[in-house]
Amino acid sequence: MKPITVIVTASGAPGGPSIIQSLRKVKEREIRIVATDVHRDAAGLYLADKYYIVPYGTDPAYPEEMLKIASRENVDIILPLSSLELLALSRFKKRFEEKCIRVLISAPEKIAIALNKYRTYRFLEEKGFTKILPKYHLVKSIKELEDAAENLGFPAKPFIIKPPQGKGQRGFRIIVKQKISSVTDFLNTKPYDAYMDYHELIRILGKEENFPPLLVMEFLPGKEYTIDVLCKEGISYAAVPRYRKRTTLGISTIGVTERNEELIKITRNLIRLFGFDYIINIQFKYDENGEPKLLEVNPRIAGTVCLTIESGINLPYAAIKLALGEPVNDLAVKWGTKIIRYWDHVTLQE
């Protein structure tokens, strides 16, 4: 088959190295990999055939710079990994297509909804998908925050607070009445966990003249899942639930593929509703009654897609084949595949 050149953006992202490695495993054609990142110390840069340092995805210069690089390197495909780049690349998609460069991304209006959790929930409410939504409130003042907390059963129950639009777990906190209540808690709680005292939250937010809009949600105590999806024009070719058995700072470190038909059905319906393209990941968590509730819709490839790859579906390459108009076969999943992630490294000489 014809050799191709692929740009993997944000190659220092948690999934960057494993996604590059998945493309290296392809046997049916040669794939030349060009990596980009804003940081020179991004590990994925040094696993590629060539790399470039680029502006942030929110920088107005970013899409033009990516177009220059893609043209210079005769790129066939761009695979975006970072949420910060999605809107810029999507809005620039026609410019890339004019040069026969395919960007594995959905339409900008769909991305704009999915990147904002509050807009996502409101959109789904309007479409009748209320059953899968957690209890939530958008708050814009201390008074609204206090009312929302009470409505969610605080202090008897903890609650979640996070920005409507964020990256990773930035701004995410589980709010409790008192985080450390004993010497045992003090000695065994790591300083970077997600729990936070309610009064500390009120104190910090009370300092701000301009209160930032925040999403306040019910705490969901059940199992958490990410579903990796391969799709085109709202049709799902594969949907693979992964049980997030253990997470560290928002990244799944122990996971297992699980044939959860309930989540697969919901996910396929959401993909159809949005009309998404290529690779999407959707996160759910079960509530205290055993009902799945939507956490977020991410219109990009997930950081732990390596588990789906190890389960038998090379999702990055399958999406590339879809973009090239080639048949996508062998989408069988080895359910029960488990991964345990660990640190690895790239060695360089400065």
Residue 274 phi/psi, 5-degree rounding, is -75, -30
What are the tens digits of pLDDT across the range 140-183? 999 999 999 999 999 999 999 999 987 666 778 999 887 666 66
CB 264 within 8 A of CB 349: no
**For strand 159-162 and strand 136-139, is the pairing parallel, antiparallel, or unpaired?**
unpaired
Written out in words, the top-level CATH class of the domain with range 4-104 is alpha beta
Q: Which CATH number fits domain 136-218: 3.30.1490, 3.30.70, 1.10.287, 1.10.357?
A: 3.30.1490
What are the tens digits of pLDDT across the range 258-297? 999 999 999 999 999 999 999 999 999 999 999 999 999 9
Tell me what the mean pLDDT of segment 42-66 comes to.
97
The alpha-helical segments, DSSP class H, found in 77-182 are 83-91, 93-97, 108-115, 117-126, 142-151
CB 160 within 8 A of CB 117: no
Domain extents for the chain?
Answer: 4-104, 111-130+221-340, 136-218
CA 287 to chain centre: 21
CATH assignment, 111-130+221-340? 3.30.470.20
Task: Record the pTM.
Answer: 0.92
